[in-house]
Amino acid sequence: MAQGAQLSIRQRAARVLPGGTFGNVSGDLVIVRGSGSRVWDDEGREYIDYLIGSGPMLIGHAHPEVTSAVRSQLEAGTTFFASNPEGIALAEAIIDAVPVAEKVRFTSTGSEADAFAMRLARAHTGRPKILKFEGGYHGYSDYALMSLAPKTSGNSPRPIPDSAGIPDTVRDTILVAPFNDAGAVESLLKEYRSEIAAVFLEPMQRLIPPQPGFLAALRELTREHDVLLVFDEVVTGFRLGMGGAQEYYGVVPDLCTLGKVIGGGFPLAAIAGREDIMAAFDSDQAGTGRFVPQVGTLSGNPVAAVAGLATLDVLSRPGTFGRLFDTGRRLMTALEDILAANGVEGRVVGEPPLFDVVFTKGTVSNHRDMLAGNTAMLKRFNALLGENGVLKADSKIYVSTAISDDDITRTIAAMDVAISRLARDCVAGLLP
């Protein structure tokens, strides 16, 4: 232990972690504290935070109402492997807010929720295949890691595994279509109608909003072909509004998954949906051939539940989402203006609570368009923002309600510096 204490924190990480990281962001970043809209690293650098824990800290770090709720619950116990009032109250809050939610089942992670939602769809329909979209992220199960990040286009309808260790047979259970292409979906539904259990998608895929009419077309097509429509709202749930993307875009699926925001910074996710489909989780269904067993040691634990309840209470207050969207719009507009002023080709893609720049001159409507983006420029942009006190994910800017007017001013200034430097580097031939 004494020897370890003499090493830097990054050296210690390299000794015990593959690649020296948790597998999330670069091991060069070690965060030690967060408060409101800011985080601090182990070397004392302060950042305006648009990473927000990859999304869950929508109302900011260490929010006093969340902290107070968690402290009170810690005194009453942390987990029981049994139903508890706090988890039941959170389920009630989800049902009150989310259009499709008639019943709720908790898990600990979004990956779990997505994997169970796929299994639930198969159990309900008795069919083996899931139709998903190129570039769509649905966690890290074998079934989800299909064409999440294909490096070439044209891998539809047969997917490309994104990881070693996935059996070849899994590929036979997944079909893939380009996002925002209802015609491709219709063709696959007609060809594989008797085999497809569900069309499974992020209604806003990573950064890419659905084109007008796309989600409505999916709703009509899935009903026509007796296929379930499942929205992965782990990211968009309670971020685009209290009712999530299904309320924001006006299309209600048959099932959805939720995560990130509903745990208030603690591990918690959920499957929510129509009562007749969710009934397969009921142990009374055992022996019927429809039962889907689902057990999790920490599922619905009261600490995460009270953090989620406090977070949803803050979000539900009048004007909260209006301010969140206004903040995002100001940042998006400023970034577009800065790109234009510096002659840098780029598209600001997303919705106000979640967006980023894609360095391309073309439109961005699916993963194939994303592949055309200049990743070297994006990586340099991110690094320059970090040098100027703004922290973001590799390909996302998550806006929180904690962002202040001063934060916006400083962020725009940092964007201006970063894009101006990119323009000079491009002229000098330092970037492709």
- DSSP for 170-200 reads HHTTEEEE-TT-HHHHHHHHHHSTTTEEEEE
pLDDT on residue 149 = 79
Contacts of 122 (CB under 8 A, 6+ apart): 128, 130, 197, 198
Q: How far is CA 309 from the centre of its chain?
A: 19
Sign of CA dihedral 60, 63, 65, 71: positive
Query: 168: which 2 tokens?
Result: 């070849």
Q: Which of 47, 50, 137, 248 is catalytic?
A: 137
168 in active site: no
Q: Is the pLDDT of residue 48 over 60?
A: yes
Using an 8 Å Cβ cutoff, are 414 and 389 in contact?
Answer: yes
Residues linked to residue 272 through DSSP beta bridges, in sequence order: 104, 256
pLDDT tier, 1 (very low <50, low <70, confident <90, very high otherwise)? very low
User: Among the listed ranges 72-81, 144-153, 272-281, 338-347, which one has the minimum average pLDDT value?
Assistant: 144-153
Q: Is the pLDDT of residue 284 over 90?
A: no
232 in active site: yes
pLDDT on residue 429 = 83
What's the Cα-to-Cα distance from 314 to each of 29, 74, 97, 371, 382, rounded to whole Å?
30, 21, 14, 38, 30
DSSP secondary structure letter of residue 260: G
pLDDT on residue 288 = 83
Buried b / exposed e across 244-279, counting CB within 10 Å, b at 16+? bbbbbbebbbbbbbbbbbbbbbbbbbbbbbbeebbb
For residue range 286-338, list pLDDT tens digits in order: 878 889 999 999 999 999 999 999 999 999 999 999 999 999 999 999 999 99
Q: Which of 103, 260, 392, 396 is catalytic?
A: 260
For residue range 146-170, list pLDDT tens digits in order: 888 776 655 568 888 888 999 989 9
Of residues 273 and 168, more confidently modeled? 273
Q: Is the pLDDT of residue 79 over 50?
A: yes
260 in active site: yes
Q: Is the pLDDT of residue 359 over 80?
A: yes
pLDDT on residue 401 = 98
CATH no. of 77-315: 3.40.640.10
At 95, which helix (H) or strand (E)?
helix 85-97
- Three-class SS state of 142: coil
CATH no. of 2-62+319-427: 3.90.1150.10
pLDDT on residue 427 = 85
Q: Is the pLDDT of residue 2 over 60?
A: no
DSSP secondary structure letter of residue 164: T
Could you count the other beta carbons within 10 Å of the beta carbon of residue 4?
A: 10
Question: Which among 171, 98, 169, 106 is positioned nearest to 132, based on CA atoms?
Answer: 171
pLDDT on residue 15 = 93
pLDDT on residue 154 = 53
Mean pLDDT, to the nearest integer, of 350-367? Answer: 96
Domain ranges of the chain: 2-62+319-427, 77-315
Buried b / exposed e across 208-231, counting CB within 10 Å, b at 16+? bbbeeebbebbbebbeebebbbbb
Separation CA 156–CA 166 (nearest Å): 18
Q: Is the pLDDT of residue 280 over 50?
A: yes
Question: Which among 55, 85, 59 is positioned nearest to 72, based on CA atoms?
Answer: 85
For residue range 186-206, list pLDDT tens digits in order: 999 999 989 999 999 999 999
Query: 21: which 2 tokens?
Result: 């990281």
pLDDT tier, 24 (very low <50, low <70, confident <90, very high otherwise)? confident
**Residue with structure tokens 């084109």?**
211
- Mean pLDDT of all residues in the chain? 94
Give the percent of the chain with pLDDT over 90: 86
Q: Which of 49, 114, 181, 232 is catalytic?
A: 232
